[in-house]
Amino acid sequence: MMDVKRRYVIPGDVIATGPLRPEQNVFQDGDRMISTCVGISEIFENSVKVIPLTGGYMPKANDLVIGKVIGTSPLSWEFDINSCFVGFLPAQDVFGRDYSPTKDELRQRLDIGDLVAVRIANFDRSRDPLLTVQDRDLGKIDSGELIEISPSKVPRLIGKRGSMIQTIEMATKAIITIGQNGWIVISCEDSEGLLKAVEAVKMIDALAHTPNLTERVKSMLGVVDGENNDTIND
């Protein structure tokens, strides 16, 4: 952590020169490492990367995302996954191998407009992302509040090893499902806790690039929920 150098960059900024490896959002011009987006650059011992502050979601295999059903075809559902690509969920994934388009009705399981937690099973540049619900925690979401944040800020919402999200969940007793695509579902039995959690998530979205965010979120939540925190810690 000590030898990571951070800087605010915009496209075209030279982050460093020398024999380094360009990682995400960095492009190499000769021996210059150039940022390709607005974000925070990080220089490691032998690589450079930029954490973006803006931009849409680019699907990646194994990502958990929250999708909204936008249509069906005889063999699959089509999902809006907040990306420039449409996600496909094959009918067999839900109905099993003996699925038959004449017998089963797709709309009975997942109708248009339903929110579903899905995992991206496969994605490459030549095909649209293939989705799956075959895992624990996946499937239709029945209740909760949907919040949209910028997908580039999702890592900040989760925090280091989930520290940020745990803080919010513990302080508000809410259950938060985070999709890597920036769609987040918060459900909470207590309406006040729900409001607090929503507020905290929106605050992280707005202030994602500032340091000491965990502390600020804690103090924001702590005012009301300080006692709750203590009881949990006890």
* Binding residues for other proteins (CB under 8 A): 6-8, 10-14, 25, 27, 29, 34, 36-38, 52-56, 58, 84-86, 125-126, 152, 209-211
CB of 73 to other proteins, least distance (A): 16
CB of 8 to other proteins, least distance (A): 5
CB of 43 to other proteins, least distance (A): 14
Burial class (CB in 10 A: 0-12, 13-18, 19+), 9: buried
Nearest to 134 by CA among 99, 96, 161: 96
CB nearer other proteins, residue 38 or residue 186: 38
CB of 13 to other proteins, least distance (A): 7
CB of 119 to other proteins, least distance (A): 22
Task: Locate 177 and state its tokens.
Answer: 């499902």
CB nearer other proteins, residue 37 or residue 220: 37
CB nearer other proteins, residue 12 or residue 226: 12
Extended strands (E) in the chain: 5-9, 14-17, 21-22, 26-29, 32-35, 39-43, 47-52, 64-73, 76-80, 86-90, 115-124, 127-132, 139-140, 145-148, 175-178, 183-187
Give the CA distances from residue 3 to residues 21, 25, 44, 47, in Å, rounded to whole numbers and listed in that order: 16, 20, 7, 12
CB of 84 to other proteins, least distance (A): 4
Measure the CA–CA gap between 85 and 229, rounded to whole angstroms.
41
CB nearer other proteins, residue 80 or residue 199: 80
In 3-state terms, what secondary structure has residue 126? Answer: coil
Burial class (CB in 10 A: 0-12, 13-18, 19+), 196: buried
Measure the CA–CA gap between 223 and 33, rounded to whole angstroms.
44
Measure the CA–CA gap between 217 and 106, rounded to whole angstroms.
42
CB nearer other proteins, residue 53 or residue 174: 53
CB of 14 to other proteins, least distance (A): 6
